[in-house]
Amino acid sequence: MDEMKVSRRGALGIAGAAAGAALVPAAAEAAAKKAGAKGKPVIDFATKIDFKDPKWTRDTYARLDADVAPGKEKCGWIRGKIFGVRDNEPVRPLMNVEGFSFVRINRQADGSWRRLLREIVFYRDINTNEILKEWDNPYTGERVRVVPIANDPFNFTISEFVPEPPSYGGLQTAKREPKPFLQDWQWGPEGTMILNTGIDMMYPNALQPDKWPRESSGFMNRVSEQFIYVVKKEDVENPYLTHIPHTGSWSRVTPWLPWMLMGQAPGHMNYFTHFSTIPDGIAGLPKDLAAAARAMDEKWLHAPETDYGPSLSSLENYAREQKPAPVPAGWAPPQPPAPRNPFAAK
């Protein structure tokens, strides 16, 4: 769920969110000082704020994304809603979404950071909030089996240069010219800082229509993910704080999920979520969420300990782990309602 813009309004809202994000920095700082020798930081990283310095960007993003103290895991959590968007009808709330990730990060010889992450995300009933195993698709009238997002691993390197887009097992072939890693940081109110970051992609779909007629949204997969982080300036500048507490939002524009069995139906989905760090790890997660992950495999409650791959998205994993659904006789992708002129003569 972490990749590399978005505006945020309401100064009071930002300040309040940032205050809530400062979860336990004093305790984290005390632990870091204790671990260090003679009160020195346990690991070196850039803390002098300079929006034009790629080393500062690299180290600050690493401290946001993970806990850079050797051997430490960080638990990140998201929660929000998913909406369906089709022509000629209101945007429709479809389900709630909630999940978490565990990440550890290792310093490389060149000063870069290699992050190792597992993430799992469940879908919840829009009314009862129960974790869904089946879902009644309002567009088709069909009950379908729900497949959670379960990515193991999703690793990449945070360096002084802008990362390449994820390859998704070789399907994404876009390349960038090397350029310094600088992000869209802004000053917020009352000692806060705001980071806007995101990625927009279009690449070949792992679920091609000829093999996956009911799951595939088409030959290409178009996805946009946008993030906002809100942090305290004093935390960013703190040389003892190996993880920067934060809160923020993640939004995603994506085709219909394959398990919805919508085929190439017109329309798309929007995710709107908020996220933060869970300092207590497993103990701080909702009990039913942790239990659902544990029922799949204990590994989801821990970050990878070694660097392996490939790093795939939920679509590539779906193509590897699932089978195409049967196509009923006469089936066709659901269509939005016809346009209607509300001012036409009756």
pLDDT-above-70 percentage for the chain: 88
pLDDT in tens, 82-139: 999 999 999 999 999 999 999 999 999 999 999 999 999 999 999 999 999 999 999 9
At residue 9, the pLDDT reads 30
Of 11-15, 35-39, 141-145, 207-211, the least confident? 11-15
- As to burial, measured by CB atoms within 10 angstroms (0-12 exposed, 13-18 middle, 19+ buried), residue 103 is buried
Residue 13 scores a pLDDT above 80: no
Where does the pLDDT of residue 32 fall: very low under 50, low under 70, confident under 90, or very high at 90 and above? low
Rounded to 5 degrees, φ, ψ at 278 are -105, 100
- pLDDT tens track for 214-237: 999 999 999 999 999 999 999 999
114 against 170, higher pLDDT: 114
pLDDT, tens only, 272-291: 999 999 999 999 999 999 99
Q: Which two tokens stand for residue 259?
A: 């398990």
pLDDT at 28: 59
Provide the mean pLDDT of the chain: 90
Has residue 8 got a pLDDT over 50? no
Q: How far apart are CA 132 and CA 128, in angstroms?
A: 10
Residue 219: both structure tokens together: 């030959």
pLDDT of residue 7 exceeding 90:
no
CB 105 within 8 A of CB 76: no
CA distance 233 to 236: 5
What is the arithmetic mean of pLDDT over 178-199? 97
Whether the ω angle into residue 324 lies within 30 degrees of 0, i.e. cis, is no
pLDDT at 195: 98
| Cβ atoms 337, 89 nearer than 8 A | yes
End-to-end CA distance of the chain: 50
Average pLDDT over residues 51-56: 98
Q: What pLDDT does 30 receive?
A: 59
Whether 268 has a pLDDT exceeding 60, the answer reads: yes
pLDDT mean over 203-218: 97
Locus of tokens 């929006």: 51
pTM across the whole model = 0.88
**pLDDT, position 163:** 87
pLDDT of residue 80: 98
Please report, to the nearest 10 degrees, the dihedral formed by the alpha carbons of residues 11, 13, 19, 23 taken in order. Answer: -140
